[in-house]
Chains A and B, each alone.
Chain A
Amino acid sequence: MNRKSMRTLAATAASSALLFGLAACGAGNESAEADDASDSSLSGTLNGGGASSQESAVGAWKQGFQTANPDVTVNYDPVGSGGGREQFIAGGLSFAGSDAYLEEEELTAAKERCGSDVVSVPVYVSPIAVIYNLDGVEDLQLDAATIGAIFEGKVTTWDDQAIADLNPDADLPDTKITPVHRADDSGTTKNFTDYLTAASGGTWSGGVVETWPVKGGEAADGTSGLVSAVKGGQGTIGYADASQAGDLGQVKVKVGEEFVAPTEEAAAKVLDTAEAEAGRAATDIALKIDRKTDAAGVYPVVLVSYQIACQKYEDAEEAELVKSWLTYVAGADGQKASEEAAGSAPLSESFSAKVQTAIDTIG
């Protein structure tokens, strides 16, 4: 009995010592920063959430913002655009990241939550590359009609006449084409199908959707799942954020008379050709992207992701935090950070200024 209780005692002591030992110290990189002298007066926690497409960009923004304001902690839950919008409207998040702007119904609800207009600004523009894995074929060139036919399952082999016509110099094998699409609902799919619907001239009939409409074909979860599925098969083709394409081949897409590669510069130009959706508040910048553009050097297959916030917050400190956060994110520094960390296309100066005007109304 005695020996047993001794053991129990020792075990309890040891385990609690372990726990307190752990609890005693913070992370090595966190304690150091608190001492940093800084002229920032901001402090507190800013909670956001939503689109996972923005996650790596938000990671970079957090770093920049928290370094400038050491007493601030920014959290971002990558629960998905729908979840982000829903929780923002319910009042659970200070700001939401979303691959789509608010729909009518949501807008009404969001205004109710805010007691004011909604500030919704595009902050993350990323080219969606059409990626493929086909040995011996580099610099594949396709137009929207052919891409639509491939993803619809009408063009089934790589040596199909439609592909050969666009690539006179390529030596195309008779490998079967395996189109890979996203298994999960995503803003990437929505933007991609938006492009196909607008530009394919009817070879794509699936409409503009977040859920892949064609039953059949290869499906993969998330951007990295899709990329690894394309890598894992031969003769595969898919669509993903250009930054994640790695060493896979990236299709040059026909715009006007030339073929444009999915670069950041080409994607950034899209915003200048885009029009704002009519009938919305000035602070609610909802873009209608011109997918059919034939302007030179524009890459129209892009994902535009927004951050949504309120104009008014009950807590002035929260308003101040959101305002500074968005100012940083949409500003030159923030856009540069996300370009480096996530391969996004930076907002042009003129566009950035427009966004800033909207952000300034917060508070």
Chain B
Amino acid sequence: MGTRRIREEGLRVSSTTEQTRRTAPPQRPGDRVFGGLSLGAALLILATLAGVAIFLTVQGIPGITASPEEVKYDTTFLRYVGPLVFGTLWAAALALVLAAPVAIGVALFISHYAPRRLAQPIGYVIDLLAAVPSVVYGAWGMVTLAAAIQPVYLWLEEHLGFIPLFAGPASATGRTILTAALVLAIMILPIMTAICREIFLQTPRLHEEAALALGATRWEMTRMAVFPYARSGIVSAAMLALGRALGETMAVAMVLSASGVISLNLISSTNPSTIAANIAHSFKEASGLTVNGLIATGLVLFVITFAVNFAARAIVDRRKEFSGAN
């Protein structure tokens, strides 16, 4: 149906184009509605976020100001949340360091290395894994992974014990912060892989072919054509993954043997806890101001995410010129 109307619209438009900017499209009532909808959706997100922030602040502040006698954790809020903040950042950073190279590698494998017939089912399987409930990751990590990796911790303690990270004593059950970080890494792997893969696939074919035609090897082509194009996307994917790692609750709560200490030791059974896991652990039996204190730790997590994203934004300037093929 469309062609005739488009032609008419085109004719009408031609008289007005000179007044508008070169790239600006013609404006229509439909445009206003559509633009309004888009803006409305964006503002709704702002409202939601503001709602969450207000909720956290209003509920959290009584917890922050509560005196040690009024809450179950018997200490000031700052002392309480300090080790948790450390644990949250430590676990998420470990997870990201473990997952990011693998995710990029897998995405690259699917998009540029594996034969097409193999690549599709592999991508499919990995998408699936994003859906495994965190409870199942937790149960798997607690039973299968921890048992499988415990001998490795013993070995690390014996041979690399002089490094503070592996000082030990090695956990008897293998449920350490490194195991938790591994589980987190596995959990964020599918989401990061999937996004990276889509982005790698979108690299303009012409760029790739040009690089190859100039005699680049496949790696050189990847480095020169694919990565620059995909950089902002990779960072986004990493941020999404980091967000999940920071906020993951159930899996960490189940896997980690958490004690609420500050320790860099990766293999002992005395580990720092994370904010989210601590909320899951303490929330059920909490009442009164303790609940407010726990919600305040949620607020702290919120602020951390804020800060991490801010830092990432500052480090990577989002390069708009790679949008589109111009």
Please state if A211 and B171 are interface contacts (CB–CB under 8 Å).
Answer: no
Cβ proximity bits B61-92 to A, threshold 8 Å, 1 near / 0 not: 00000000000110000000000000000000
Determine the distance from Cα of A32 to Cα of B260 in the docked complex, in whole angstroms.
Answer: 51
Q: Which B41-79 residues have C-beta < 8 A from chain A?
A: 72-73
Q: Which A88-146 residues have C-beta < 8 A from chain B?
A: 99, 105-106
Complex: chain B residue closest to A83, CB-CB:
B284
Q: Which A176-222 residues have C-beta < 8 A from chain B?
A: 176, 178, 180, 183-187, 210-211, 215-222
Q: A232: which of B174, B254, B283 is its contact (CB, 8 Å)?
A: B174
What is the CB-to-nearest-CB distance from A178 to chain B, in angstroms, rounded to a whole number?
Answer: 4
Any B CB within 8 A of the CB of A327: no
Cβ proximity bits B156-197 to A, threshold 8 Å, 1 near / 0 not: 000000000000000111110000000000000000000000
Q: Which residues of B are found within 8 Å of A228, using beta-carbon distances?
A: 142-143
Cβ proximity bits B270-287 to A, threshold 8 Å, 1 near / 0 not: 100100000011111111
What is the CB-to-nearest-CB distance from A45 to chain B, in angstroms, rounded to a whole number?
Answer: 23
Any A CB within 8 A of the CB of B103: no
Q: Which residues of B are found within 8 Å of A22, using beta-carbon distances?
A: none
Q: B282: which of A81, A86, A105, A211 is its contact (CB, 8 Å)?
A: A211
**Given A217-B269, A218-B173, A234-B172, are A183 and B257 also a contact pair (CB < 8 Å)?**
yes
Q: B287: which of A82, A218, A225 is its contact (CB, 8 Å)?
A: A82
Residue of A83, A183, A216, A236 most packed against chain B (CB within 10 A):
A183
Determine the distance from Cα of A180 to Cα of B172 in the docked complex, in whole angstroms.
Answer: 10
**Given A86-B287, A178-B173, A211-B72, are A185 and B257 also a contact pair (CB < 8 Å)?**
no
Q: B261: which of A215, A221, A235 is its contact (CB, 8 Å)?
A: A215
Determine the distance from Cα of A218 to Cα of B283 in the docked complex, in whole angstroms.
Answer: 20
Q: Which B127-150 residues have C-beta < 8 A from chain A?
A: 138, 142-143, 146-147
Q: B175: which of A85, A86, A184, A218 is its contact (CB, 8 Å)?
A: A218
Interface size counted on chain A using CB atoms at 8 A: 38
Any A CB within 8 A of the CB of B230: no
Please state if B260 and A221 are interface contacts (CB–CB under 8 Å).
Answer: no
**Given A82-B284, A228-B143, are A218 and B172 also a contact pair (CB < 8 Å)?**
yes
Q: Which residues of B are found within 8 Å of A235, using beta-carbon distances?
A: 172
Q: Which residues of B are found within 8 Å of A225, using beta-carbon distances?
A: 142, 254
**Given A184-B253, A211-B72, are A229 and B175 also a contact pair (CB < 8 Å)?**
yes
Any A CB within 8 A of the CB of B301: no
Q: Which residues of B are found within 8 Å of A215, using beta-carbon distances?
A: 259-261, 270
Complex: chain A residue closest to B260, CB-CB:
A215
Determine the distance from Cα of A106 to Cα of B290 in the docked complex, in whole angstroms.
Answer: 14
Please state if A183 and B284 are interface contacts (CB–CB under 8 Å).
Answer: no
**Given A178-B172, A221-B253, are A183 and B281 also a contact pair (CB < 8 Å)?**
yes
Determine the distance from Cα of A221 to Cα of B249 in the docked complex, in whole angstroms.
Answer: 12
Any A CB within 8 A of the CB of B258: yes
Any B CB within 8 A of the CB of A52: yes
Complex: chain B residue closest to A178, CB-CB:
B172
Q: Which residues of A are found within 8 Å of B281, using beta-carbon distances?
A: 183-185, 221
Any B CB within 8 A of the CB of A334: no
Please state if A185 and B171 are interface contacts (CB–CB under 8 Å).
Answer: no
Determine the distance from Cα of A106 to Cα of B175 in the docked complex, in whole angstroms.
Answer: 37
Any A CB within 8 A of the CB of B110: no
Q: Which residues of B are found within 8 Å of A217, using beta-carbon distances?
A: 259, 269-270
Determine the distance from Cα of A178 to Cα of B268 in the docked complex, in whole angstroms.
Answer: 12
Q: Which residues of A are found within 8 Å of B143, using beta-carbon distances?
A: 228, 232
Any A CB within 8 A of the CB of B242: no
Please state if B280 and A82 are interface contacts (CB–CB under 8 Å).
Answer: no
Please state if B172 and A233 are interface contacts (CB–CB under 8 Å).
Answer: yes
What is the CB-to-nearest-CB distance from A148 to chain B, in angstroms, rounded to a whole number?
Answer: 19
Q: Which residues of A are found within 8 Å of B2, using beta-carbon distances?
A: 1
Pull 28 A–B residue pairs with CB atoms less than 8 Å apart, ordered by A. A79-B284, A81-B285, A82-B286, A83-B283, A85-B287, A178-B173, A178-B269, A183-B253, A183-B257, A183-B258, A183-B281, A184-B253, A184-B285, A185-B282, A185-B284, A185-B285, A185-B286, A186-B285, A217-B259, A218-B172, A219-B256, A219-B257, A219-B259, A221-B138, A225-B142, A228-B142, A229-B142, A232-B142
B binding-site residues for A, Cβ under 8 Å: 1-2, 72-73, 138, 142-143, 146-147, 171-175, 253-254, 256-261, 269-270, 273, 280-288, 290-291
The 6 A-B residue pairs with the shortest CB-CB distance, nearest first, are: A80-B284, A185-B285, A233-B172, A184-B281, A233-B173, A216-B270
Q: A183-B281, A217-B259 are in contact. List 20 more A-B contacts (CB 8 A).
A: A1-B1, A52-B284, A80-B283, A81-B285, A82-B287, A83-B283, A106-B287, A178-B172, A183-B256, A184-B281, A211-B72, A218-B171, A219-B256, A219-B259, A220-B257, A221-B254, A225-B142, A229-B175, A229-B257, A233-B172
